[in-house]
Amino acid sequence: MRPISDDMRTSMRGAAAVFAERGFDGTTMEALREVTGVPTSTLYYYFEGKEQVLTFLLEDWLDRTAAAAAEAIATERTAKERLGDLVAAQLTAMANDPATCQVLLAELGRIDRLPHIAEAVQSAFHRPVAKLLADGAADRHLRSVDVDVATSVLYGAVIISGLHHIIDARDEVPAFDATEVAASVMDLVLHGLESEE
Protein backbone atom coordinates (compact mmCIF):
# COMPACT_ATOMS: atom_id res chain seq x y z
CA MET A 1 0.00 0.00 0.00
CA ARG A 2 1.42 3.34 -1.02
CA PRO A 3 1.38 6.26 1.39
CA ILE A 4 -2.08 7.81 1.40
CA SER A 5 -2.25 11.59 1.08
CA ASP A 6 -4.71 13.56 3.16
CA ASP A 7 -6.76 14.25 0.06
CA MET A 8 -7.06 10.56 -0.65
CA ARG A 9 -7.85 9.87 2.97
CA THR A 10 -10.71 12.32 2.75
CA SER A 11 -11.96 10.87 -0.50
CA MET A 12 -12.08 7.41 1.01
CA ARG A 13 -14.34 8.53 3.85
CA GLY A 14 -17.54 7.43 2.17
CA ALA A 15 -16.23 3.98 1.34
CA ALA A 16 -16.95 2.59 4.80
CA ALA A 17 -20.65 3.25 4.34
CA VAL A 18 -20.71 1.10 1.23
CA PHE A 19 -18.96 -1.78 2.96
CA ALA A 20 -21.32 -1.43 5.92
CA GLU A 21 -24.40 -1.43 3.75
CA ARG A 22 -23.55 -4.13 1.26
CA GLY A 23 -20.98 -6.25 3.04
CA PHE A 24 -17.49 -6.90 1.73
CA ASP A 25 -18.34 -9.15 -1.17
CA GLY A 26 -21.43 -7.14 -2.04
CA THR A 27 -19.25 -4.09 -2.50
CA THR A 28 -17.86 -3.78 -6.01
CA MET A 29 -14.85 -1.72 -6.95
CA GLU A 30 -17.25 0.12 -9.24
CA ALA A 31 -19.33 1.10 -6.21
CA LEU A 32 -16.22 2.38 -4.46
CA ARG A 33 -15.31 4.41 -7.52
CA GLU A 34 -18.79 5.87 -7.59
CA VAL A 35 -18.94 6.89 -3.94
CA THR A 36 -15.37 8.12 -3.59
CA GLY A 37 -14.98 9.60 -7.05
CA VAL A 38 -11.61 7.87 -7.26
CA PRO A 39 -11.24 5.90 -10.50
CA THR A 40 -10.72 2.17 -10.22
CA SER A 41 -7.21 2.32 -11.65
CA THR A 42 -6.23 4.82 -9.02
CA LEU A 43 -7.62 2.64 -6.28
CA TYR A 44 -5.40 -0.16 -7.53
CA TYR A 45 -2.48 2.21 -7.70
CA TYR A 46 -2.78 2.92 -3.98
CA PHE A 47 -4.18 -0.29 -2.62
CA GLU A 48 -3.29 -3.85 -3.47
CA GLY A 49 -6.94 -4.80 -3.73
CA LYS A 50 -10.38 -4.49 -2.27
CA GLU A 51 -9.42 -6.05 1.03
CA GLN A 52 -6.67 -3.53 1.55
CA VAL A 53 -9.12 -0.69 1.02
CA LEU A 54 -11.14 -2.12 3.85
CA THR A 55 -8.24 -2.67 6.22
CA PHE A 56 -7.04 0.87 5.54
CA LEU A 57 -10.39 2.22 6.68
CA LEU A 58 -10.39 0.08 9.79
CA GLU A 59 -6.85 0.92 10.78
CA ASP A 60 -7.46 4.60 10.20
CA TRP A 61 -10.46 4.55 12.53
CA LEU A 62 -8.79 2.34 15.10
CA ASP A 63 -5.73 4.57 15.22
CA ARG A 64 -7.87 7.61 15.88
CA THR A 65 -9.86 5.71 18.48
CA ALA A 66 -6.70 4.51 20.19
CA ALA A 67 -5.48 8.10 20.36
CA ALA A 68 -8.77 9.26 21.85
CA ALA A 69 -8.63 6.41 24.36
CA ALA A 70 -5.09 7.23 25.38
CA GLU A 71 -6.04 10.85 25.87
CA ALA A 72 -9.09 9.94 27.92
CA ILE A 73 -7.12 7.96 30.46
CA ALA A 74 -4.19 10.34 30.77
CA THR A 75 -5.68 12.41 33.58
CA GLU A 76 -5.34 12.67 37.32
CA ARG A 77 -8.70 11.12 38.11
CA THR A 78 -9.15 7.80 39.89
CA ALA A 79 -8.94 4.61 37.87
CA LYS A 80 -12.64 4.07 38.30
CA GLU A 81 -13.46 7.49 36.93
CA ARG A 82 -11.01 7.10 34.08
CA LEU A 83 -12.55 3.78 33.17
CA GLY A 84 -15.82 5.62 32.67
CA ASP A 85 -14.05 8.25 30.60
CA LEU A 86 -12.43 5.55 28.47
CA VAL A 87 -15.70 3.81 27.76
CA ALA A 88 -17.27 7.14 26.88
CA ALA A 89 -14.41 7.92 24.50
CA GLN A 90 -14.72 4.55 22.80
CA LEU A 91 -18.47 4.89 22.42
CA THR A 92 -18.04 8.41 21.10
CA ALA A 93 -15.73 7.11 18.40
CA MET A 94 -18.34 4.51 17.52
CA ALA A 95 -21.22 6.96 17.47
CA ASN A 96 -19.30 9.32 15.23
CA ASP A 97 -18.36 6.71 12.66
CA PRO A 98 -21.05 4.05 12.76
CA ALA A 99 -20.29 2.65 9.34
CA THR A 100 -16.65 1.86 10.03
CA CYS A 101 -17.57 0.47 13.37
CA GLN A 102 -20.13 -1.85 11.81
CA VAL A 103 -17.58 -3.05 9.30
CA LEU A 104 -15.10 -3.69 12.09
CA LEU A 105 -17.59 -5.99 13.75
CA ALA A 106 -18.09 -7.77 10.48
CA GLU A 107 -14.38 -8.56 10.44
CA LEU A 108 -14.12 -9.66 14.05
CA GLY A 109 -14.57 -13.29 13.17
CA ARG A 110 -11.51 -13.39 10.97
CA ILE A 111 -9.44 -10.96 12.95
CA ASP A 112 -6.85 -13.64 13.58
CA ARG A 113 -5.95 -13.38 9.90
CA LEU A 114 -5.57 -9.60 10.05
CA PRO A 115 -2.71 -9.08 12.50
CA HIS A 116 -2.55 -5.32 11.99
CA ILE A 117 -6.20 -4.94 12.83
CA ALA A 118 -5.97 -7.25 15.82
CA GLU A 119 -3.07 -5.20 17.13
CA ALA A 120 -4.98 -1.95 16.59
CA VAL A 121 -7.97 -3.34 18.48
CA GLN A 122 -5.65 -4.17 21.35
CA SER A 123 -4.37 -0.59 21.40
CA ALA A 124 -7.77 1.01 21.18
CA PHE A 125 -9.69 -1.28 23.51
CA HIS A 126 -7.91 -3.96 25.48
CA ARG A 127 -4.66 -2.40 26.61
CA PRO A 128 -6.15 0.81 28.04
CA VAL A 129 -8.73 -1.23 29.95
CA ALA A 130 -6.08 -3.59 31.29
CA LYS A 131 -4.03 -0.64 32.48
CA LEU A 132 -6.96 0.91 34.33
CA LEU A 133 -7.87 -2.38 35.94
CA ALA A 134 -4.35 -2.60 37.29
CA ASP A 135 -4.43 1.02 38.44
CA GLY A 136 -7.82 0.45 40.03
CA ALA A 137 -6.63 -2.56 41.95
CA ALA A 138 -3.70 -0.48 43.14
CA ASP A 139 -5.72 2.54 44.24
CA ARG A 140 -8.36 0.25 45.77
CA HIS A 141 -11.28 1.79 43.91
CA LEU A 142 -11.70 -1.34 41.82
CA ARG A 143 -11.81 -4.99 42.75
CA SER A 144 -8.90 -7.13 41.79
CA VAL A 145 -10.21 -9.38 38.99
CA ASP A 146 -8.89 -11.61 36.23
CA VAL A 147 -7.71 -9.06 33.70
CA ASP A 148 -8.27 -11.25 30.63
CA VAL A 149 -11.85 -12.00 31.53
CA ALA A 150 -12.59 -8.44 32.50
CA THR A 151 -11.17 -6.91 29.33
CA SER A 152 -13.15 -9.32 27.17
CA VAL A 153 -16.33 -8.63 29.09
CA LEU A 154 -15.85 -4.89 28.94
CA TYR A 155 -14.88 -4.93 25.28
CA GLY A 156 -17.92 -7.04 24.48
CA ALA A 157 -20.20 -4.85 26.53
CA VAL A 158 -19.01 -1.67 24.86
CA ILE A 159 -18.90 -2.90 21.30
CA ILE A 160 -22.21 -4.74 21.36
CA SER A 161 -24.04 -1.95 23.13
CA GLY A 162 -22.67 0.49 20.60
CA LEU A 163 -23.58 -1.72 17.68
CA HIS A 164 -27.08 -2.16 19.02
CA HIS A 165 -27.62 1.58 19.02
CA ILE A 166 -26.00 1.99 15.62
CA ILE A 167 -28.38 -0.47 14.05
CA ASP A 168 -31.31 1.25 15.71
CA ALA A 169 -30.17 4.62 14.46
CA ARG A 170 -29.96 3.58 10.82
CA ASP A 171 -27.96 6.34 9.16
CA GLU A 172 -27.91 9.16 11.68
CA VAL A 173 -24.58 10.58 12.82
CA PRO A 174 -23.83 10.60 15.65
CA ALA A 175 -25.71 7.36 15.94
CA PHE A 176 -26.42 7.73 19.65
CA ASP A 177 -25.61 9.68 22.79
CA ALA A 178 -22.29 8.18 23.84
CA THR A 179 -22.25 9.80 27.29
CA GLU A 180 -25.64 8.40 28.15
CA VAL A 181 -24.87 4.89 26.91
CA ALA A 182 -21.50 4.94 28.66
CA ALA A 183 -23.18 5.84 31.94
CA SER A 184 -25.64 2.95 31.67
CA VAL A 185 -22.97 0.47 30.77
CA MET A 186 -20.67 1.65 33.54
CA ASP A 187 -23.39 1.46 36.14
CA LEU A 188 -23.90 -2.17 35.26
CA VAL A 189 -20.26 -3.06 34.96
CA LEU A 190 -19.25 -1.33 38.19
CA HIS A 191 -22.07 -2.43 40.44
CA GLY A 192 -23.05 -5.71 38.84
CA LEU A 193 -26.43 -7.34 38.61
CA GLU A 194 -26.66 -8.86 42.03
CA SER A 195 -29.01 -7.29 44.48
CA GLU A 196 -27.26 -5.68 47.45
CA GLU A 197 -29.90 -6.62 49.96
Partner DNA sequence: CTGTAACTTGTAATATGTTTCCAATACCGA
Partner DNA sequence: TCGGTATTGGAAACATATTACAAGTTACAG
8 interface partner picked from its own copies, DNA, none, CB below 5 to 8 A per type: DNA
36 interface partner picked from DNA, its own copies, none, CB below 5 to 8 A per type: none
Burial class (CB in 10 A: 0-12, 13-18, 19+), 23: exposed
d(CA 160, CA 27): 24
d(CA 157, CA 127): 16
String of contacts with DNA for each residue 51-70, x by CB under 7 A? x-------------------
Pick 74 or 190: Cβ nearer its own copies: 190
**Which part of the chain contacts DNA (CB under 7 A), choosing from 41-49, 92-100, 123-131, 153-161?**
41-49
**Contact call for residue 34 and DNA (CB under 7 A):** no
Cβ neighbors of 193 (< 8 A, separation 6 or more) are: none
Got the DSSP string for 34-54?
HHH---HHHHHHHSSSHHHHH
> What is the CB neighbour count within 10 angstroms for residue 172?
11
76 interface partner picked from DNA, its own copies, none, CB below 5 to 8 A per type: none
Interface ranges with its own copies (CB under 8 A): 20, 23-25, 80, 83, 102-113, 133, 136, 140-143, 145-146, 148-150, 152-153, 155-161, 163-164, 167, 181, 184-185, 187-197
